[in-house]
Structure 1
């Protein structure tokens, strides 16, 4: 008895766990691993690396070079071969054709004065970093909207599947009742045929909504990797939330994205202004070189037998004067893009404002529709019950009862659709507010 009691208790706990509704907030957390969202997260990391690299641009450039060549050593004083780095050949006319030449050099260049160019590059990388994060927020917001839409679609199709089952059960009872009345001679044989036809139609609706429910389950599994086990519609679907809608435009990620685009264009304008100034650099270098030749014309002697050491230090100025006459056109181009972004930002603001106003109206009217639909459904259900009793007594025919049943079928379907539309309006409103806290509270 103790073993059986423990088994029954564990089975009941397991069934209770599998029948629990998965909170919407949990679906959001599991959707965070969606590849499309992870791609945006990788863009953030890439922008972070670009920002760190831009900050390292202030460090000097250091180049090292070493080479060992075999070639002529005779030549006019100061002659050179323009290879990477530099390599001089000179001689005094000693008889000989070839020699071993070794060289090692190091150069350093530090652009220590760039008149704001370095700061502009760092600032541009920082704006790109912020814009990558905003793109991630936009993608995450869209994903929440999609997950919620699929979740609501699963609840709606599941509710419609229950509606089709109830309709089939009513038609099945009518078929049994009409068959009994036909056998007793209180109804014609046509009643059984009509009831059978209605039953077949209801069973077809069951297959349809089974397919729809399975489709939404597969879509939700695609986004979250979670398979819904519970086949019951969550109770909050048939409730009206007490949360109030408010007319305000928060700092939506779509607006933030436009602000970052404006900041980027402002930095580009600063870059154009600073490009007309020169770059002042500190230059330094060192060279160790040896030539392997001797008076006896032996070419393969120690290449550092006659070493030559050189060094160089100085300050250089690089000035691209062509930037002066192209600055005006580049500035005008950036200003035109700034006007375009400003107009696009205004379009986004108006669109969000219009959507919020429209959704507020729809949510309010949807509440009123639900109240009317609930009242109509209760009336239709009571009317069907009364007419069914009259049909059982032989006071009305089956055609009249089927008309009442169709009215019940229509009102029950309208009731489910009213709730579905109501939550879809809330989902769209949450997207315009960039806040899904109302939905996560209701479907917790």
Structure 2
């Protein structure tokens, strides 16, 4: 057995930190991860819609995939751990065996298991497996959903093993599950064969707006308690009502601010083009925030925006060509630079290669250079691959991958970037070659 935060350290806090044992509470968490590849388990705090980043917990895992730790926890809190929602309560002794292939097979035992098993097993979609409870029309489906929700509420009232602090929250979760099922009904009936996200947004928006009057009482029940935004299921449901139904959250200033900020942060994270306008909006929002945790989270994103905003100077990095010669990004100054960060083992990367070859051919003779930067661990495999699959780009190898990943914040591949002739960003998260006209127009307008 081992502990990430030792009992001795906690006792020191009690003795020298002026904190009594009653005030400073702890919880023990132990268990195993099905995939021993993971060395750290991230527990993402869901307080205020997951915006309280400083309360995230990271638990170390040994070589066998096991963990056993004591953490300070002064109040109950919900966490997202991979695909599972985990409820931690002070003084619990919770054992979790995570199944990364099927989150419903994750096992909870020990003190604190009852609430987590309720979330896992008694809080699934009211539409049933494969949406079997979807009826021929919304009214019939709603009746079925409402009846099933009443059964769950009845079971909840009879359950005496759940912590009293959790029972009322579980009741509200069932209310949220009803709203979720109402919205999902339209997804299954009107959007089942649609893959265009804009069309789905339009259809769901129209449908959800049409039923808002019938779900407003349920929504008001959730909005009446600001604490409920700490529960991921409830927050997600209210957010969906805002996204699809444009529901009015102004009756609760805290809910309104939190949901608005969460949606804006998602916009930032998904933005393909970090413009000065987006940066300005982020800075304006930051100036108006009053919650210190909100400020920290948005400030962190703004730091990233400033780094990659259009016009910001690129971080010069050093590569190797196929012969081992050192090549810097700055060596291409004076030309427009389109970069593909990729690897031979990356399926989506290789899928882009034919389109990349066509893009290169289209701009042959123009003042633009196309780079393919490999992040392969196996340099020999990369060298062998590019001899067989030459597409016309300048082939480079990232010898210092850790530095590249950190400086350019490459969290996934393929990743593309468009750099100006003056070595400033035009688009740090550029469109891929298969976007065809979109990236072609961007390159043409930047020449």
On whether the aligned pair clears a TM of 0.5, the verdict is no
Sort the TM-score into its range (normalised by shorter chain). Answer: under 0.3
Q: Judging by fraction of residues, say which structure has more strand.
A: 2
Q: Structure with the greater relative contact order (CA < 8 A, sep ≥ 6): 1 or 2? A: 1
Q: Rg bigger for which structure?
A: 1
TM-score, normalised to structure 2, is 0.18
